[in-house]
């Protein structure tokens, strides 16, 4: 066997290990986020003021989302320009993981609505110190031929985190400190594994990569001059807004809209997220297996948005638990289809090579903004007399609008 062949096989194994560690950390990061927003934070807000829980949670989510939006773009740009012997992304990923764990302490110790709001703001700042450089690693490291497969597996991360997180909250520690300690342990363990195997080269003397974009790369809004970037960003904004409306208030939907006699809200929440997750797994595994054969991602994203819209609308209009479960199964199909191609579409639409961290941060802004928009919408709908089902009608409208926007994407073969 020739030396070059041995070297190539060794490098392929190393790349596989790095990608595996990357997927594990991405999942762990969302496990650190999803149950916090869907279980821990709503219960904490209710404990502070049962009657004003929606307002407290919404206020915390709004200010937290604003913080996340600014922090993600800033940290992406900072990591682009970081020069250290540990690389560009690794130092910030390590710092972000530690700060996120410390932010859990602030949430646990908050005893007034004001302190709770500040605690969630601190969490969002810390979490995006981690996520901004981590997202840029996808564009930096994942080979183009593997983007569909890895994108599909990353698409599984959030729904898997929701399902696992909900189960951990229902079956694990039943007090807040224990729940937060469990989330912290999962995140730190995954971050340590990734940082050990991620062989990012030193960036102390690394020059800027040549740009493939002829526009004004230094201008913050320059990427939006690209039609595909603007299309992907807008569709992601609408999808994320729908997700936020459905998931953030799901616990309240279970207790206030349908209920399930004989089951606690946490267990009912776990059942629904588990049903959606089963659908996501089926779709995502299929996409991952056939990822190398997928030449157009836009039609899959379009179908996913349509399925999400129908599922959310069914939730809004039915009083039956049977229909709710079926609707969540369809909702999971939509999540799986859209999520399987989301990261691939984002990377395909990046107009520059030397500003990947910043531009992925702009893409992540489309996820951060809905965390502010959804609570504001919830407050407005509540004030004009709509109940919790009105939020799900709004979510269905967001998903339908995303399907329309995705039809404007100019597909290219991968």
What is each CA distance from 299 to 24, 337, 345, 403, 412, in whole angstroms? 28, 10, 11, 10, 11
What's the confidence (pLDDT) of residue 355?
Answer: 65
What's the confidence (pLDDT) of residue 228?
Answer: 77
d(Cα 182, Cα 168) in Å, to the nearest integer? 9
Domains of the chain: 11-200+222-406 (1.20.1250.20)
Where is pLDDT greater, at 129 or 154? 129
Has residue 134 got a pLDDT over 80? yes
Residue with tokens 């056939």: 290
d(Cα 303, Cα 344) in Å, to the nearest integer? 16
For the record, the structure tokens of 140 come out as 């930096």
Nearest Cα residue to 115 out of 129, 125, 105: 105
Confidence band, pLDDT 50/70/90 cuts, at residue 260: low
SS (H, E, C) 101-116: HHHHHHHHHCCCHHHH
- Cβ neighbours of 102 (radius 10 Å): 13
Has residue 100 got a pLDDT over 80? yes
Has residue 413 got a pLDDT over 50? no
d(Cα 216, Cα 360) in Å, to the nearest integer? 17
What is each CA distance from 197 to 7, 24, 134, 190, 302, in whole angstroms? 17, 12, 14, 11, 36
Confidence band, pLDDT 50/70/90 cuts, at residue 399: very high
Q: pLDDT tens digits, residue range 180-219?
A: 999 999 999 999 999 998 877 766 554 444 443 444 445 6
């Amino acid at each position: 066997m020739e030396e070059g062949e041995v070297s190539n096989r060794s490098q392929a194994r190393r790349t596989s290990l790095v990608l595996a560690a990357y997927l594990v950390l991405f999942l762990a990061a969302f496990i650190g986020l999803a149950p916090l927003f869907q279980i821990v934070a709503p219960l904490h807000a209710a404990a502070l003021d049962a009657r004003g829980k929606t307002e407290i949670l919404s206020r915390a989510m709004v200010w937290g989302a604003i913080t996340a939006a600014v922090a993600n773009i800033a940290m992406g740009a900072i990591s682009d320009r970081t020069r250290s012997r540990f690389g560009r992304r690794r130092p910030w990923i390590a710092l972000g993981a530690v700060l996120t764990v410390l932010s859990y302490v602030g949430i646990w110790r908050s005893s007034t609505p004001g302190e709770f709001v500040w605690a969630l703001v601190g969490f969002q700042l810390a979490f995006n110190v981690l996520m901004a450089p981590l997202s840029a690693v996808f564009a930096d490291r994942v080979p183009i031929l593997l983007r569909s497969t890895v994108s599909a597996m990353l698409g599984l991360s959030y729904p898997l985190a929701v399902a696992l997180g909900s189960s951990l909250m229902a079956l694990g520690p039943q007090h807040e400190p224990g729940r937060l300690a469990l989330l912290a342990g999962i995140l730190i363990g995954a971050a340590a594994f990734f940082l050990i195997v991620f062989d990012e080269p030193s960036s102390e003397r690394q020059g800027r990569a040549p740009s493939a974009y002829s526009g004004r790369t230094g201008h913050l809004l320059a990427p939006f001059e690209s039609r595909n970037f603007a299309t992907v960003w807008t569709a992601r904004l609408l999808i994320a807004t729908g997700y936020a409306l459905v998931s953030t208030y799901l616990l309240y939907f279970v207790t206030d809209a349908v209920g399930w006699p004989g089951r606690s809200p946490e267990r009912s929440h776990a059942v629904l997220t588990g049903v959606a997750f089963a659908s996501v797994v089926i779709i995502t595994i299929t996409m991952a297996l056939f990822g190398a054969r997928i030449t157009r991602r836009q039609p899959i994203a379009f179908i996913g948005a349509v399925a999400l819209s129908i599922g959310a609308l069914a939730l809004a209009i039915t009083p039956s638990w049977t229909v709710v479960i079926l609707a969540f199964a369809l909702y999971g199909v939509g999540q799986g289809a859209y999520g399987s191609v989301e990261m691939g579409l984002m990377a395909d639409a990046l107009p520059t090579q030397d500003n990947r961290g910043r531009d992925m941060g702009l893409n992540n802004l489309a996820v951060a903004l809905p965390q502010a928009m959804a609570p504001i919408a919830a407050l407005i709908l509540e004030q004009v007399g709509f109940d919790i089902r009105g939020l799900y009608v709004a979510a269905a409208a967001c998903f339908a609008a995303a399907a329309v926007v995705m039809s404007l994407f100019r597909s290219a073969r991968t």
